[in-house]
Structure 1
Amino acid sequence: MEKTNPAVLAFLQSVHPYDTLPPDELARVARSFCRMVVPAGEVIYAYGDTMAGLYLVKSGGVEITDAHGALVSLLGPRNSFGERGLLRDGFAATQARASEECVILRLPAPQFRVLIAAYPAYARFFNRKRGARPATDIALQRVADLIARAPLSCGPDLQVFDAARMMRDAAVSSLGVVDDAGQLLGLITVRDLTTKVLAEGRDAATPVGEVMTRDPVTLPPSALGSDILHVMLEHRIGHLPITDEGRLTGMITQTDLTRFQAVSSAVLIRDVAQAETVAQMAAVTAQIPQLLAQLVGGSHRHEITTRLITDIADAVTRRLLQMAEAQLGAAPVPYLWLACGSQGRQEQTGMSDQDNCLVIDDAATDGDMLYFKALAKIVSDGLDACGYFYCPGDMMATADRWCQRQSVWRGYFDRWISKPDTEAQMLASVMFDLRPIGGTARLYSDLQSEVLKRASGNSIFVAHMVSNALKHTPPLGLLRGFATIRSGEHRNHIDMKMNGLVPLADLGRIYALQGRLPQVNTRARLTAAEEGGVISVSGARDLIEAYDLIAETRLEAQAHLVRSGRKPDNYLAPSDLSDFERSHLRDAFVVVRTMQSALSQGKGVLG
């Protein structure tokens, strides 16, 4: 009888719905899984393959595409695929390809069907998953998530001449007409100006109230996208005001619906790759906040949303590198452009500065270094123009310090590890989040493994890194409250980045260091730390759940700002949350504080 693989069994215990199976059955199922190591780019599951089995991602990433090659979803650890073909529901026309090297567990089809038949909770999970519509299906979106911008309105006494100018200047095709209390009275569109004013020879000073459509059809923010489609088709209208108890809160147009269906990370990356100028790329990246709001509204997991948004930054960087080489000529020696910070961790949201560096082959001459200095400026300037603003701390390849030969970089890490002063701790924390973006990857892969091995073996360095990681604390106040910012523009708000996610990123980095884990993404680090025994299973589960809640809350707050016509930021007012949400958010911060405390006492991890 085949022995149970302890690593597979431990992994399944952390994956729903396997955690619902009886222990003996779970052990049997663990023996039934086949382990596959799949290289990046290799097809795992082909179109119409209905008997291959159920696939479960243990590590790495998988791209799911439809029969036309369009990206359907990106899967990570604990996600499964292939069940649709097994359940014969007509949705098997997809292909799964490894987006990076990954470990896949495959459960043979007969074993999957035994579990479906024997365990209702297991069957409910896959039947519910099978029946789910894509999150980007417009018919299932809430109206509030489809609103692209804050509504533009005017009073009924405004002259049509001024209304036309308002629409022109704001690049919109309609205005809500409201009274002094914000109650919707009517609607005026560009078409109304044409048919009711110009075509009838009315004076440009005519009040809007005389030509508006009175008491237009409206929908509440709680309605669904299907309601919009039905109303527009039934009433043959292209503009639909959204009201809450009579107050105008938004406007949905046919253009918004088209834009929602057209904006995706794949489309934006395609447009970036085809851009001929920096200005064209900037026009593409300007759509990122809308994409963020759309992804959050579509209930995508936070790690998928941030991954998709980061992919766009990666594409922009690579296109700028191509432009730089076209302008300067081919690089004289191999080089590698790397990102650190949120881009390095693949955790970008609707706002980000740039953090990057260049590693250059040791064969580079002093003259060659002038080439790379010029290349760095072209790329960094281009990133700034595309909304990835210059790093306030000058952590960019344009700084001589961060544009160096490989041997110099090796010397940097050697000094930081052997003499971990305050600056060394800070710089090492940043540079442990490096991720290759464009160029020759080998310039960093060997260096990374060397550094992890040496750093993890230096207990003094690790202790200093732990001390540095504990400087950012969760915003916990007394009596189950929050410690909010006390003054300034963001008074009574929580900084969801510095006090919410940075402490978790710091913990993930320490666990990666202790376990010599190559992962850079925070969630991937926490998962790998659990699988590698760096932290206990229970501690890892609590920490991952806390991370998920904090990250989701931050993204939802940013999406809300985008929908209200404001720029996304990292600040959240606890008063904007319900009692239930505040309670759970505070519990998540308590988990982070507890894990920090364990780390500071040297129990780190398995305690």
Structure 2
Amino acid sequence: MGHDLTGIRSFLQSVHPYDSLSEDTLDTVLDGFQILNFPAGEPIYDLDEQLAGLYLIVSGEVAITDPNGVQVSALGPRNSFGERGLLREGRSVTAARARTESKLLLLPADVFERLMDKERAFARYFDRARPKRAGTADLAEMRVSDLMAPNPLSCPPETSVQAAAAMLRDARVSSIGVVEDTRLAGILTTRDFTTKVLAEGLPGETPVSQVMTRDPHSLGPNDLGSDVLQMMLERKIGHVPITDSGRFKGIVTQTDLTRHQAISSAVVIGDIAHAETVEELTGYTKLIPQVLAQLVATGKPHDVVTRLITDIGDAVTRRLLKMAEDELGAPPVPYLWLACGSQGRREQTGVSDQDNCLFLHDDFRPEHDTYFAALAKFVSDGLDACGYFYCPGDMMATNPRWRQPLRVWRDYFSGWVAKPDNEAQMLASVMFDLRPISGDDDLFTGLQAETLAMASRNSIFVGHMVSNSLKHVPPLSLLRGFATFRSGEHKNTIDLKHNGVVPVVDLGRIYALQGRLEPANTRARLLAARDRGVISETGAKDLIDAYDLIAHTRLEHQAHQIKHGQKPDNFMAPTSLSDFERGHLRDAFVVVRTMQSAIGQGRGTLG
């Protein structure tokens, strides 16, 4: 590295994750870094340029611009940018230039990858922005932070055993940490009350410090489930406290391990299939947040997580339909219950309303509607009770408009295509995501292909659908990188649904329309559009990778909320991410905006 070695070492030791590296490793990194100086206005790299590695700003300010030359962020000291293999295999989908005189450090790609392979803290910091598509983690590979019960019960050493026992009873837990000056001094379990307090006849005012296990062995939040299993087996214990620099952060119990092993979407679906009442169903659907958080923690790709969560919603719907038929009797004519929206696309998360409709056989007569209105109400009410709240736009089978014979549905679709006004565009967007859930599939067979063919031939309809798809835009601003809400309940956050995944969902629907593609799932549509040549190979790769990151970030946000006892939503503060993560997310949004620009100009491809 040559000159200024001491100053650069000091700087790196103030920047995470370099501050986590050992002295020897830091020496190696110092030898690998290149010092680069750029005058104001000079390009650092151009669009689609092969990147040399990871840049770190020491001083100055760097502007990141999209393919149209629009600035999407301005980065300052300690911000990283560059090594973005996520988007185009080392080629940048953005450009970078020095806004002011800037001093940068360049970590070559090969050194970066070696650190990712060998340094756990370094990899943890950068890996979240590089979600993997292959492989999953089992219980032994999960982080302790994903297994532990947060906000653990604790008390000071002078607490009486009687008071501690009451705390355990009220919290319905089996252990309590004894904390002195923020440090974990000991742990007391229900077994200790039996073997040390009751068995020895100690008075209720005995302080917990006399019976607790002192200075218990503990693990850190970043250790693995395998470490917990090993400690429990070797030390024959059922409670492992989790500490961070001595501070009591959580606890992992045998019950936690069993719960993570036992609860899965398949188990929940099996229980749902045998539920006898709506009340039983609600008990099972309450487990959905936990299942979602567990799937995210085990490293499942976002489309696998949402597919498994949607499978639960499908199972609930089918069970409710069976309950309704048991109560109402056999239907007067064949019917088909279909889902649209996120359930239709198999993209449900921890926040879902219900969007559904009924296709009825053309033998339907007006007097039959009494039956189907009752069936729709039973199912929709049951879904709402199970957490799938009523559609705010009344896109449900309880609305007579969406409970019609097949001939009426054919008229709906042909009318929307022939006269694509604003309502027609909105309704067509929803209905193009239809997927049968239960009933007579023949009522849907052929209709989708027929409608796609009819719609794709109408250039005016396609044009209106393209314009409608551009109404949701990524949350990019000129100076700060992200356009957050400026006021209100969600101030300083971005909406990862309407400004994150929905723009890609809309693009996928347009590609499906242009290519007459039958998949309803967004990722499947993007892959099919690539294979059919609707979008270019590079455009598809960039957009799929961008979508993967945005959807992954959304699920991690919801999983984090669930883990901390909060109701999951789609509003995330960009400040909750690291600088590197924010950089990746900005790049992903730039890709989406670029693809929107391309399809808006009639090109539909990128690269």
Partners of 1:177 and 1:401 in 2: CA distance = 62
Residue 493 of structure 1 is matched in structure 2 by 493
SS at match of 1:585: helix
Say if 1:601 and 1:133 are closer, same or farther in 2 by CA, change over 3 A.
closer
Question: Residues 346 and 140 of structure 1: is their aligned pair in 2 closer, same or farther, counting only changes over 3 Å?
Answer: same
Letter in 1 for 2:179: V
Indicate conservation of the 8 Å contact 1:480/1:586, yes or no.
no
The answer to whether residue 202 in structure 2 is matched with residue 167 in structure 1 is: no
Q: Distance in 1 between matches of 2:575 and 2:139?
A: 31
Distance 1:134 1:424, change over 3 A: closer
Superposed CA offset, 1:483-521 (max 9, x none): 112122322111111110000000001111111111100
Distance 1:171 1:440, change over 3 A: farther
Q: CA RMSD in A?
A: 2.1
How many equivalent residue pairs?
Answer: 475
When normalised by structure 2's length, the TM-score is 0.75
| Alpha-carbon contact 1:141-1:224 (below 8 Å) kept | yes
Structure 2 CA distance for partners of 1:233 and 1:444, relative to 1, 3 Å: same
Distance 2:351 2:324 in 1: 25
CA displacement at 1:244 relative to structure 2: 1.3
Instruction: Give the AA of the match of 1:167.
Output: L
Specify the code of the residue in structure 1 equivalent to 2:533: G
Larger radius of gyration: 2
Look up the match of 2:95: none
Alignment of 1:71-150 (within 5 A): 135-150=136-151
C-alpha distance in 1 between matches for 2:469 and 2:534: 17
Which SS does the other structure have where 1:445 is aligned? Answer: coil
Say if 1:219 and 1:433 are closer, same or farther in 2 by CA, change over 3 A.
Answer: same
Q: Deviations over 1:90-115 (max 9, x none)?
A: xxxxxxxxxxxxxxxxxxxxxxxxxx
Give the Cα–Cα distance (whole angstroms) in 2 for the partners of residues 167 and 400 of structure 1: 53
Structure 2 unaligned residues grouped into runs of 5+: 1-132
For residue 489 of structure 1, give the secondary structure of its aligned residue in structure 2.
coil
Q: Deviations over 1:263-322 (max 9, x none)?
A: 122211111112222222222222222222222121111111111111111111111111
Deviation of residue 211 (structure 1)? 3.7
Q: TM-score, normalised by structure 1?
A: 0.75
Partner of 1:481: 481
1:349 corresponding residue in structure 2: 349
Please name the residue that 2:213 is paired with.
Answer: 213
Deviation, structure 1 residue 147: 2.5
Cα distance per residue 1:334-382 (max 9 Å; x no partner): 1111111111111111221111111111212222111111111111111
CA distance 1:437–1:162, shift in 2 (3 Å): farther
Assess, with a 3 A threshold, how the Cα gap between structure 1 residues 477 and 300 changes in structure 2: closer, same or farther.
Answer: same
* Residue range with higher mean Cα deviation, 134-143 or 378-387: 134-143
Matched, 1:384 2:381: no
**CA separation of 1:513 and 1:154: change in aligned 2, threshold 3 A:** farther
Look up the match of 1:63: none
Q: How far apart are the structure 1 equivalents of 2:150 and 2:278?
A: 25
Question: Take 2:574 and 2:413, find their aligned partners in 1: how far apart are those partners?
Answer: 41
* 1:68-467 matched pairs, under 5 angstroms: 135-179=136-180, 181=182, 183-204=183-204, 206-467=206-467
Post-superposition CA distance 1:228-283 (Å, at most 9, x none): 01111122111111111122222111011111111122211111112222222222
Secondary structure at the counterpart of residue 445 of structure 2: helix
Q: Is the 8 A contact 1:173 1:189 kept in 2?
A: yes
Q: Distance in 2 between matches of 1:329 and 1:344?
A: 27
Structure 1 window deviating more from structure 2 (597-606 vs 221-230): it is 597-606
Specify whether residues 218 and 390 from structure 1 end up closer, same or farther in structure 2 by C-alpha distance, changes over 3 A only: same
**Retained in 1: the 8 A contact 2:538–2:606?**
no
Change (3 A) 1:180 1:356: farther
Moved more, 567-576 or 215-224: 567-576
Q: Which amino acid aligns with 1:531?
A: D
How far apart, CA to CA, are the structure 2 residues paired with 1:496 and 1:553? 8
Question: 1:220: how far off?
Answer: 0.1
On the 8 A contact 2:598/2:605 being kept in 1, the answer is yes
The answer to whether the Cα contact below 8 Å between 1:341 and 1:355 also exists between their aligned partners in 2 is yes
Q: How far apart are residue 136 of structure 1 and its match?
A: 4.8
2:438 and 2:385 map into 1 onto residues whose CA distance is 19
Aligned residues of 2:360 and 2:406 also touching (Cα < 8 A)? yes
* Residues 595 and 606, structure 2, Cα contact 8 Å, conserved in 1: no
For 2:495 and 2:223, the matched residues in 1 are separated by 32
Contact 1:152–1:176 (8 Å) recurs in 2? yes
- For residues 406 and 460 of structure 2, the distance between their equivalents in structure 1, rounded to whole angstroms, comes to 25
Instruction: Check 1:180–1:475 CA distance in 2 against 1; reply closer, same or farther (3 A cut).
Output: farther
Secondary structure at the aligned position of 1:395 is classed as coil
1:150–1:565: 8 Å Cα contact kept in structure 2? Answer: no
Q: Would the alpha carbon gap of residues 154 and 277 (structure 1) be closer, same or farther in structure 2, given more than 3 Å must change?
A: farther
Change in Cα spacing, 1:605 to 1:215, as seen in structure 2 (3 Å) is same
1:155 positional shift: 3.9
Question: Does the C-alpha gap of structure 1 residues 606 and 557 become closer, same or farther in structure 2, counting only changes over 3 Å?
Answer: closer
Q: SS at the partner of 2:241?
A: strand
Counterparts of 1:242 and 1:500, CA distance in 2:
35
Q: How does 1:559-598 map to 2 (within 5 A)?
A: 559-598=559-598
Whole-Å Cα distance in 1 between the matches of residues 434 and 200 of structure 2? 65
Which amino acid in structure 1 is aligned with residue 379 of structure 2?
Answer: V
- Indicate if the aligned counterparts of 1:534 and 1:606 stay in contact, CA closer than 8 A: no
What CA distance in whole angstroms lies between the structure 2 residues aligned with 1:384 and 1:153?
Answer: 38
Paired with 1:597 and 1:133, the residues of 2 have a C-alpha distance of 31
Q: Shift of residue 149 of structure 1? A: 4.9
Cα 1:400–1:133 change in 2 (3 A) is closer
SS of equivalent to 1:519: coil
Which residue of 2 is the match for residue 510 of structure 1?
Answer: 510
How many Å separate the matches in 2 of 1:236 and 1:176?
18
Measure, in 2, the Cα distance between the counterparts of 1:274 and 1:350.
23
CA–CA separation in structure 2 for the residues paired with 1:299 and 1:466: 34
Aligned pairs for 1:27-66 (under 5 A) are none
Structure 1 residues 362 and 205 mapped into 2: Cα distance closer, same or farther (>3 Å)?
farther
In the TM superposition, residue 169 of structure 1 has moved relative to its aligned partner by 3.8
Q: Given residue 194 of structure 2, which amino acid in structure 1 is its aligned partner?
A: T
